[in-house]
Amino acid sequence: MIINRHASTQQNPRIADLARCLEPNMSLLAEWWNNTGIAEFGDMTPQELVSTGKSDVLEWFLRSILRGDRE
């Protein structure tokens, strides 16, 4: 699956752009998007966060990484 073909990211292009800034390799990005839980959000994957209406917290999380606030 390519992240920007997923309906959730098509509706949230800013999140897709932020995620691509952090990981330009689309295969690795798709793996992270679909299979990596984020501890701060109860181990929900990015895809789960977006699909349950929590795009705002995912966007905040990605921006905090880009700012260097977290790893």
Residue pair 46/5 in contact (Cβ under 8 Å)? The answer is: no
Domain boundaries, the chain: 3-67
Over residues 63-67, the mean pLDDT reads 95
pLDDT of residue 70: 81
DSSP string, the chain: --GGGSHHHHS-HHHHHHHHHH---HHHHHHHHHH--BGGGTTB-HHHHHHTT-HHHHHHHHHHHHHTS--
Q: What is the pTM assigned to this prediction? A: 0.80
Residue pair 54/62 in contact (Cβ under 8 Å)? The answer is: no
pLDDT of residue 4: 45
pLDDT, one tens digit per residue, over 30-48 is: 999 999 999 999 999 999 9
Over residues 24-34, the mean pLDDT reads 93
